[in-house]
Chains A and B, each alone.
Chain A
């Protein structure tokens, strides 16, 4: 099974709401990633979790709060977002975060709209 699942598929939220995105993998991977993708742009890395610890934060605003409760699950908590945060949020996982030789497997993404 090489599947990464993401829920929900679509999310509409107001600027004062709090919501969460969920990502799950059962491949035994020890690295998990959050990406943000705006229309007609490539994905941009937001966070990397390595062995359930946050290892990379690409200067993401604090209104985005990642969490890795266990090795299979990755959450992204959203609070007080802005309309410009509307995007496709992609989750990925890889066997290891080390070096560069481990394929990242991507989930289908969550389409977020902030109103």
Chain B
């Protein structure tokens, strides 16, 4: 089974700093990789999906990269804001369209 690791489990950054969240996966034969945001007690909000043939995706202040050869993906959030405080989950798609989730990065942006 695919394993996805996100380190650190929690981090705090001052407002305005760029956020860098890392995700690693064990099997380079992934299909797609997706980043989600989850606010406390809420469902999952899809941020970016990177197809296996792509190296990165961008949406506004968010940029996600994918390096299959090294088994890594990185989510960059530029100029962080207090509203970016949430848990960020990385997940990759493997056989039978299943999702393997990391345990998440809990982010606090300090005003």
Contacts and interface: CB of A to CB of B under 8 A. Distances in A.
B81 interface: no
Interface residues of B, number: 26
Contacts of B95: 99-100
Interface residues of A, number: 26
A98 B96 CA distance: 5
A65 to B, nearest CB: 21
Majority secondary structure of chain A interface residues (helix, strand, loop or mixed): loop
B46 interface: yes
Nearest to B52: A101
A79 B39 CA distance: 29
A106 B46 contact: yes
A96 interface: yes
A98 to B, nearest CB: 6
A43 interface: yes
A88 B39 CA distance: 13
Interface stretch (B11-19, B30-38, B65-73): B30-38
Given A56-B96, A99-B31, A100-B94, A88 B43 contact: yes
A69 interface: no
B102 A103 contact: no
A21 interface: no
Interface of A: 31, 41-43, 45, 48, 55-56, 88, 90, 94, 96-109, 111
